[in-house]
Structure formats: structure tokens, C-alpha cells
Amino acid sequence: MAIEGFDYKGFAQSMAEQAKELVPKDLQPDDQEYIVNTLGNFTLMAGEAIYNDESLQITAEQAVFITQIIAEWSFHKSIDLIHSGIDKSYWDTIMQKIAFTIFEVAKQGVIRNLKQEQLLQAVEMHVVKVYKKCIEDLEKRGVINEQVKELAESQSNIDAMAKQAAEEQLKQKEAPLEEIDNRRKEVQKRREEQRKQRRIEKEMEASAGTITVRQMRLMSLALVMRILSPDKAQSIMNKFDEGDSRLILNYMGMANLESQIDGDILLNCLKEVKNFLPAQRKLSQENVMGDLLRLYRSNPREKIEKIIKNERPLVKRFISQAYDGEYSGLPLKVADIVAQYVEDSI
């Protein structure tokens, strides 16, 4: 069933029209056209995919949110590519990988009811990771040299626009000083985090022979998380404190991470890391009902009903009948998502 009220064609056209007004005027006309067309095409394709996906249970507002994220990042990263020094023939491939990553991360975040701030942080983390990997792959293939690689990796139009917005606010006397200061701090914080990550990478390269056991465990986990889906990676990341999470993210972004780890030590660490990985299980009616019944035994019914009080009647009926050991006929994937949502909310 199509998402009622979601006009993805009109929305994509609106995003493209707005992009025309925002593209940097110092760019060549064909580059400006590339930005607008790329944003419009990816927004249209993402909106159409969401609109026609009958398995999704999301509102028109959520559908707009996902496609808007894709539009905004398509705008920023296409500008970064134009300034990167990379030949134009490689832009589309890079942008396709970025758009697909954003689509999957944003869609799963909405399905899992992540807070908006958490979802946007997850999207940004994966965009930076994919963009950097694409550039490194071009260098390995001999398409670009080290100088172009460094230039491309230094591009960040989203930071540049944030800085420009803060400076423009500063010129306006009526703008609240506190808001201007907050914007400036956000830009500074982002750049400080980037400098910190580069510093950690250099320190790791310089001290490859003195890596501690704790560092080795985190590096081993980073290797594993590179191949996991975004939602599984995020669920594992939530098990660590902020300091370890930051280290893991830094390790995940290291181009030569594998060469820093001794093979024998890696195998031992991976055995320990296995305890953090979510167990693979077959998606079945029995497993979903088993998860719910386990939650019911350890939590008061009032607590669970409070969690779903604002959900749709179909979801409420499913939860209510599950108390009596009955399966209401909800699609299995949707039922599994509901069960995971309840468990994560407790």
C-alpha cells in the first residue's frame, strides 16, 4: 500500500529547485547543473523506492525525512567532489555509493525509531566512511596521487556552510549572541574531532609495535564492525562507553588497520569479540513470540502497554494477543521489528 500523502515526485522537484538557489555561484554552469541533477535524481529514486515498498510501515512525514537527508547529503558531497580534483568520470560511482548508504542507514534508523540526533550522527559517520574509502580505492588503483587524495579528503562543504551561516549571523545585530556562539562552537568541535582522529591515526602508525592488549581488542572489533550492517554496528557500539566508542570509530576509519594487528593476537581477540555480536537466529513466528513472552515474564504489563500507547491499533492488538500466546497475523518482519522496539524501549 502506497504511503498516503507522500508526493515523492513533487518533493524531489522542490528539492532540486531549492538546490538551484543554493549552489555556489563561483562554480562553472555545468558543475552547478551536475549538483542539481544529482540531488534531484537521487531524491526521486529514494522517494519512489520508499513509496512502493509495501513492507515499510512509516508515515508520509518519515518518508519525507529520509528523502530530505539524501537530498541534503547529495548536495554537499557533490560539491566536495567538484572541489576534490578527482576526474568527473568517477563522480557518479562515488555518489551512488554514498546515496545507497544514506538510504539504508536512514531507513533502518526510522524503522528502529532512533532519536533524530542519533540517526543523523549515524548517517554522517557512514557518509564520511564511504567517501573516504572511495578516495582510498582510487589511490590504490593509481587513479589519483597522494596530493589529490589529501585534497579530496579535506573537502567538507557541510562544515563550510555551517561556518558561513555562523559568520552571517554574526553580522546581524538582531541575531542572539548565544546562538551565534553555539554555531561557532559546533564548527570548531567538528574540526577538532577531525584533527583528533588524524592525530590518533598518526600515533597508531608511529607506535604500531607497542599496541596494548586493550587497543588490540578494540581494533579487532573495528575490523568486524566494518562488515556489519549499520544497525548491528550501532547496537554493538552502544555497549561501550564514549571513550571506547570514539576509539573504535577511529580504528574503523584507518586505511591500514589490518597491518597493525598481529594475526595470532587477532584470532584470540575475535574469540572474545564474539560475545558482543548479536546471535544469528531464524526469523520465525515462534522466535518472535518467544522474545515477547520473555519480555512479558520480566516486565509488568502496564510498563509495556505504556511503551506502545501511541502506536497504531494494529500494533496494540498484536501486543495484546501475544500476552495470551496468540499471533495476530502481523507480517513476520513487522512483528519482529515491533518486538525489538519493545525490548529496546524497556
Q: What is the pLDDT of residues 298-344, one digit of tens each?
A: 888 888 888 877 777 777 888 888 888 888 777 777 778 778 777 87
Report, as an integer, the average pLDDT of 195-221. Answer: 63
pLDDT over 80 at 120, yes or no: yes
Report, as an integer, the average pLDDT of 21-30. Answer: 90
Of residues 126 and 4, which shows the higher confidence score? 126
Contacting residues for 19 by C-beta, under 8 A, at least 6 apart: 35, 36, 39, 40, 71, 75
**In the prediction, which pLDDT does 199 show?**
62
**In the prediction, which pLDDT does 258 show?**
67
Task: Tell if the pTM clears 0.75, that is, is over it.
Answer: no
Q: 233-257, pLDDT tens digit by residue?
A: 777 777 777 777 777 777 777 766 6
**In the prediction, which pLDDT does 168 show?**
64
Buried b (16+ CB within 10 A) or exposed e, 263-299: eeebeebeeebeeeeeeeeeeeeeebbebbeebbeee
CB atoms within 10 A of CB 259: 9
**In the prediction, which pLDDT does 277 show?**
53
**In the prediction, which pLDDT does 342 show?**
79
The confidence band for 296, taking pLDDT boundaries of 50, 70 and 90, is: confident
pLDDT over 80 at 1, yes or no: no
Buried b (16+ CB within 10 A) or exposed e, 138-171: bbeeeebeeebbebbbebbbbebbbbeebeebee
**In the prediction, which pLDDT does 107 show?**
87
pLDDT over 80 at 213, yes or no: no
**In the prediction, which pLDDT does 135 show?**
92
pLDDT over 90 at 297, yes or no: no
Of residues 212 and 116, which shows the higher confidence score? 116
pLDDT over 80 at 156, yes or no: yes
